[in-house]
């Protein structure tokens, strides 16, 4: 039996290879470690992922969302439409600028915001819509885009899980007013920590550059109040190495997903919308007896995880008088939170390991 037929299969496997280490060491030896030429080159190179849009690198995906909302002038008194079925960072960014999230339900297939629910949530205080391309599946931007246009709203795409995803051939991060990516280690590519903001608008890009660096373009000539959300040149050098691998890794994720789609019979495999290119940040199935399935997988050392067990509107900071706000009626969100299970799909998996994952899911049900 090949060695791979045994042993643990991790849920994620961030790459820190020799090339990443050499890139980091090269920058460290140069003595120039803060935001500089590596960041500029990373931005230039990443713009190819987002149809040539302006790119502004920052120190995390959360910072990207936070600065994007700031640059759009969103703040107290404004509402931003956001899914509750997401990582808390999406809604946290809204709160960090003093605005209020308005939670909407999801489509059961894509796990992304449901466009009719978005339309119904638009009100006089709505300033922006923040679709999340969850698990690497693009949100229904073909319907959300026209809605935003009709109501004069900005779109902030949370593309933290969607490097290289697209809908109708248009890349995630190139569909909204602003796009936000994360380079956290478990994402489809990383820079240890980091983020990227993308926009077609040169003025917005300039504002973002000011906001990430104390409001300065020229040193000590501060134009506005800004933060320090700069990416280091060490991180950018690692991100540049990872970016050269992104296409190949994405193809591997997609072919791993196709393998699992074909082999898994005992769970609902992830549907893909017409015209959507799913990049499988997560490969997420639905199961009924989730705890039993998890126990079965854990016994066989097969990595698995629930993203996300608690919808954001049920998390402490978003409660009203200790309970979820009765305004939020989100049945598909609740159902997804109870049923989803993410399985290993990362590019380092062998076919043997993928077969073990599928067999275990099927075996758990029998």
d(CA 293, CA 62): 32
Task: Find all residues with CB under 8 Å of 310, minimum gap 6, and list them.
Answer: 337
DSSP code, position 136: G
Quick one: tokens of 185?
A: 């280690």
* Phi, then psi, of 223 in degrees rounded to 5: -100, -35
Locate tokens 């107290």: which residue? 76
Task: Find all residues with CB under 8 Å of 251, minimum gap 6, and list them.
Answer: none
Is position 107 an interface residue for ligand PLP (rule: CB under 6 A)? no
Q: Which residue is nearest to ligand PLP (CB)?
A: 61
Three-class SS of residue 286?
Answer: strand
Is position 191 an interface residue for ligand PLP (rule: CB under 6 A)? no
Quick one: tokens of 352?
A: 């043997």
Is position 110 an interface residue for ligand PLP (rule: CB under 6 A)? no
- Cβ nearer to ligand PLP, comparing 113 with 358: 113
Is position 204 an interface residue for ligand PLP (rule: CB under 6 A)? no
Q: Which stretch binds ligand PLP (CB under 6 A): 83-91, 149-157, 230-238, 316-324?
A: 83-91
- Nearest approach in angstroms of CB 65 to ligand PLP is 6
Residues in 33-62 that interact with ligand PLP by CB under 6 A: 60-62
Is position 304 an interface residue for ligand PLP (rule: CB under 6 A)? no
Q: Is 354 exposed, middle or buried (0-12, 13-18, 19+ CB in 10 A)?
A: buried
Q: Among 125, 187, 263, 320, which one carries the catalytic annotation?
A: 187
- Cβ nearer to ligand PLP, comparing 90 with 353: 90
Is position 184 an interface residue for ligand PLP (rule: CB under 6 A)? yes
Is position 195 an interface residue for ligand PLP (rule: CB under 6 A)? yes
- Cβ nearer to ligand PLP, comparing 60 with 207: 60
Residues in 122-181 that interact with ligand PLP by CB under 6 A: 132, 158, 160-161
Q: Quick check: bond before 308 cis, omega within 30?
A: yes
- Cβ nearer to ligand PLP, comparing 90 with 242: 90
Candidates 182, 213, 242, 304; binder of ligand PLP (CB under 6 A) is 182
Candidates 89, 99, 130, 264; binder of ligand PLP (CB under 6 A) is 89
To the query of whether residue 187 is one of the catalytic residues in this protein, the response is yes
- Nearest approach in angstroms of CB 69 to ligand PLP is 13
d(CA 166, CA 275): 8
d(CA 38, CA 29): 14
Cβ-defined contacts of 219-224 (< 8 Å, 24+): none
- Report the b/e string of 180-199 with b at 16+ CB within 10 A: bbbbbeebbbbbbbbbbbbb
Is position 87 an interface residue for ligand PLP (rule: CB under 6 A)? yes
- Cβ nearer to ligand PLP, comparing 298 with 310: 310
Binding site for ligand PLP (CB under 6 A): 60-62, 86-87, 89-90, 132, 158, 160-161, 182, 184, 195
Name the residues annotated as catalytic: 187
């Amino acid at each position: 039996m090949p060695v791979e037929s045994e042993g643990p299969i991790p849920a994620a496997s961030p790459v820190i290879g020799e090339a990443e280490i050499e890139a980091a060491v090269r920058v460290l030896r140069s003595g120039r470690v803060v935001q500089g030429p590596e960041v500029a080159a990373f931005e230039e190179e990443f713009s190819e992922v987002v149809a040539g849009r302006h790119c502004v690198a920052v120190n995390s995906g959360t910072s990207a969302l936070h600065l994007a909302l700031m640059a759009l002038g969103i703040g107290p008194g404004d509402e931003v439409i956001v899914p509750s079925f997401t990582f808390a960072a999406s809604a946290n960014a809204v709160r960090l600028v003093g605005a209020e999230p308005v939670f909407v339900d999801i489509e059961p297939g894509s796990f992304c915001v449901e466009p009719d629910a978005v339309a119904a949530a638009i009100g006089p205080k709505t300033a922006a819509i923040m679709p999340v391309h969850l698990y690497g599946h693009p949100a229904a931007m073909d319907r959300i885009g026209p809605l935003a246009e009709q109501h004069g709203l900005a779109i902030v795409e949370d593309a933290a899980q969607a490097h290289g995803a697209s809908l109708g051939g248009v890349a995630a991060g190139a569909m909204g007013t602003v796009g936000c990516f994360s380079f956290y280690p478990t994402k489809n590519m990383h820079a240890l920590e980091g983020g990227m903001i993308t926009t077609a608008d040169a003025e917005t890009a300039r504002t973002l550059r000011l906001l990430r660096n104390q409001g300065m373009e020229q040193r000590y000539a501060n134009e506005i109040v800004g933060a320090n959300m700069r990416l280091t040149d060490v991180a950018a050098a690692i991100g540049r190495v990872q970016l050269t691998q992104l296409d190949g890794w994405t193809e591997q994720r997609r072919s791993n997903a196709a393998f699992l789609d074909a082999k898994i019979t005992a769970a609902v495999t992830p549907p893909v919308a017409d015209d959507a290119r799913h990049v499988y940040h997560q490969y997420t199935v639905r199961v009924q007896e989730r705890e039993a399935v998890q126990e079965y997988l854990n016994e066989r050392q097969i990595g698995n995880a629930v993203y996300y067990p608690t919808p954001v509107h049920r998390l402490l900071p978003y409660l009203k008088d200790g309970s979820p706000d009765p305004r939020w009626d989100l049945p598909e969100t609740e159902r997804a939170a109870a049923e989803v299970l993410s399985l290993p799909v990362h590019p380092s998996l062998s076919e043997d390991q993928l077969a073990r994952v599928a067999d275990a899911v099927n075996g758990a049900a029998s």
